[in-house]
Amino acid sequence: MTTVAEHYDRLLAEHYSRMFGDHDAKVAEQRALLERLGLRPEGASGAIDLGCGSGFQSLALAQLGFTVTAVDTSDKLLAELASRRGQLAVDVVRADLLEALERPGPPFALAVCMGDTLPHLGSKADVERMFAGCARRLAPGGRLVLTFRDLTRELEGVDRFIPVHDSADVIMTCFLEYEPDTVKVHDLVHTRGREDGRWRLSASSYRKLRLSADWVCDRLEAAGFRVLHREVARGLVTLLARSGADVGGDTNTGSKPCGGG
């Protein structure tokens, strides 16, 4: 079983962006989500994107006026982001998420950990460390946005085989094996050779955490955050939380309490 970083380096980073279709359209989708959550710079404009990948959230944040620190461990994905940022205020940083939060610097107004990055951390203790690190690095009243897949409900039988992408030359499939606290994710990538037209299989596996929305909300509140907004759509959890002493006044996002569905 490889680590998350090894899995991306060996297999997934090369194919990552194509899983989501048109890159600009995905950036626009993420910008619309951030706008719906009421996220625009107010005074301090620093934002940190934890697990930025090829930049769907980083570019959207920069388009909204934030100065973005984009953090990831994948050189390939950071290089792709750098090639796409143009004149936008995005600084790419190769670092582990927890390590990046330990680095000194001015406080951020916003932190995001989106896509499905949160379950990529090594343990639930690491998730708690990340929330504590965000609480330290955010200004009072700073906001944190999380999106992640709730993998606590087990798929069965052939439903564990998930089509990810198909085109003339690449077919990507994911297979899931459930453990008590994690899911073994097996990524299978078939690529067609340009010269001989033969299909070749590359495969790699890694573990993702099984995190429920209730558990994450509870750990956010233990770290000093107030959850302002929670939604779950097709298994994807979206949370908006506010840090520090200045936690009064919900945003106008149709927020639900931490126990809401």
Residue of 8, 247, 236, 22 whose CA lies nearest to 118: 236
Using alpha carbons, select from 211, 209, 214, 210 the residue that is nearest to residue 261.
Answer: 214
Domain annotation covers residue 252: no
Q: Are 74 and 9 in contact (CB under 8 A)?
A: yes
- Quick one: 115 and 199 in the same domain? no
Q: Which residue has the tokens 């940022």?
A: 85
* 251 lies in some domain: no
Q: Is the pLDDT of residue 247 over 60?
A: no
Report the mean per-residue pLDDT for the chain: 91
pTM of the model: 0.89
Whether 218 and 193 share a structural domain: no
Q: Cα(25)–Cα(19) distance, rounded to whole angstroms?
A: 13
Strand ordering across the sheet containing 46-50: 90-94, 67-72, 46-50, 108-113, 138-149, 236-242, 226-233
Summary count for the chain: helices (H), strands (E): 8, 11
Q: Quick one: tokens of 13?
A: 């980073």
Let me know whether 75 and 161 are in one domain: no
CA angle (138 as vertex; 135, 142 as ends), nearest 5: 105
Q: Measured in whole angstroms, how far is the alpha carbon of residue 171 from the centre of its chain?
A: 23
31 and 54, same domain (yes or no):
yes
pLDDT at 140 over 90: yes
- Residues 81 and 109 both lie in one domain: yes
Pair 52, 110 in one domain: yes
Q: Residue 245 pLDDT more than 90?
A: no
Does 49 fall in a domain? yes
Indicate which CATH number applies to the domain containing 174.
Answer: 2.20.25
pLDDT of residue 258: 59
The answer to whether position 116 is within a domain reads yes
What is the three-state SS of 136-200? HHEEEEEEEEEEEECCCCCCCHHHHEEEEEECCCEEEEEEEEECCCEEEEEEEEEEECCCCCCEE
Is 129 part of a structural domain of the chain?
yes
Number of domains into which the chain is organized: 2
Q: Is 13 in the same domain as 111?
A: yes
Per residue, the 3-state secondary structure of 189-238, as one string, reads: EEEECCCCCCEEEEEEEEEEECCCHHHHHHHHHHCCCEEEEEEEECCEEE
Residue 255 belongs to some domain of the structure: no
Which residue in 83, 97, 42 sits closest to 246, CA to CA?
42
* pLDDT tens digits for range 151-202: 999 999 999 999 999 999 999 999 999 999 999 999 999 999 988 999 999 9
The packing angle between helices 56-63 and 75-84, to 10°, is 30
Do residues 237 and 230 lie in contact, with contact meaning Cβ atoms separated by under 8 Å? yes
Q: What is the DSSP string of 72-89?
A: ES-HHHHHHHHHH-TTS-
In this model, does residue 147 exceed pLDDT 60? Answer: yes
Name the DSSP class of 2.
-
Residues 93 and 194 in one domain: no
What is the average per-residue pLDDT within 39-51?
A: 91
Bridge partner list, 138: 108
Which structural domain, as residue segments, surrounds residue 183? 157-209
87 and 165 inside one domain = no
